[in-house]
Structure formats: C-alpha cells, structure tokens
Amino acid sequence: TISPVVSFFLDKGAVLSNHLTQIVDLYQTEAELKSDLRKRYKSMINWGLKNLSIQVLDNRNINYLDSEAFRQLHISVAGRETRSKKTWDTQFEQVKSGEAFILTGRLDNKLVTCAHFNRTSKMCFYSVGASVRELFEKPISHAILWSAILYAKEQGCRYFDLGEQLFTSGTPK
C-alpha cells in the first residue's frame, strides 16, 4: 500500500525511482568492520593510512579556510565550478553546527582528497568528495572513507550510508 504522503506527492507529479544503497552497521567492532572488507580494500586503506596525513574537521576545529580549500580542490578536479558557493557555505555551516564533518587527506603536505559527511545522532551519510585525478592510481580516497566510518562510529552513529550503488553487468561499480 502507498502512504497518504506518497499519494499526495504522486498526485502533484512526483516520480518514484528506486536505487540501491550500501549501509554499514556501526555496532560492529572495528575488527569486525575490517574483517568484512575485501582483501584488496584493506591494502588500499592501509596504504592511505600510512601515506596520507588525514584530518577530521568538525565543529571543534573547522575554519572557513578549510571549507574554501575543499571547494577549490573540487573546482580544480572538476575543471569548473559545478555548484554554487552558497552550497559550500551551507556545508560549512553544517559542520559548524555539528550536523556534518569533513575529512581531508594530504600527501606530501598537499591537499589531495576531501570528503563531506552529514550526520544525525544515529546515521552518517557520505555527501560529496573530491580527489586529485592524477593520483587515482593511488588509493587516496579509501582511507578517507574508512576514517569517516570509524569517526562516525566513535560519535555514536548506528549506521553509515555509503550512498547509491550503481551496477553494470550485475556487479557493483
């Protein structure tokens, strides 16, 4: 059956769509979480933890220049500004209010990867990220994502939503 809320929106022209998402259960121990990873991902995470300087930016330590550095990395990687400055300012305010956090990764003291995560008291969502494309042969984003999962767990989140999973020929991308 369809709820009255869904019926209301469908009557107004909304369209339903399905997508698959991957949710991580953060009630598991860190060891259990790591044991669920593919061997290949473990080595990628370990490379990143060893070679990147990873920093969590939250409401205790973020400043506007951090947010602007993330924005500039995103513009550089995309080759153009794909989102309004207002959306970046909103993300900065989300971090300042404790509704989100950012992880940064530096390689040889240069910012090479960032990701923004929204959170509630029980759920954490991957929002947006940017990584230097010339370094894609290096697993620079894997350690960021792993660190975000552990940070969300530490903050009391119950679940971590990795976002929409796309499938081609039956296998996840």
For the stretch 27-62, pLDDT in tens is 999 999 999 888 888 999 999 999 999 999 999 999
pLDDT digits (tens, 9 = 90+) for 127-136: 999 999 887 6
Q: What is the pTM of this model?
A: 0.84
Question: Do residues 115 and 57 lie in contact, with contact meaning Cβ atoms separated by under 8 Å?
Answer: no
Higher pLDDT: 131 or 2? It is: 131
Contacts for 64 with CB less than 8 Å, ≥ 6 apart:
92
Percentage of the chain beyond pLDDT 70 is: 94
3-state secondary structure of 2: coil
Write down the pLDDT at residue 39. Answer: 86
Of residues 148, 96, 91, 97, the one with CA closest to residue 124: 148
3-state secondary structure of 12: coil
Residue with tokens 């990687």: 77
pLDDT band at residue 3 under the 50/70/90 scheme: confident
Question: Do residues 100 and 127 lie in contact, with contact meaning Cβ atoms separated by under 8 Å?
Answer: yes
Quote the tokens at residue 147. 């660190």
Question: Do residues 86 and 46 lie in contact, with contact meaning Cβ atoms separated by under 8 Å?
Answer: no
pLDDT band at residue 72 under the 50/70/90 scheme: very high
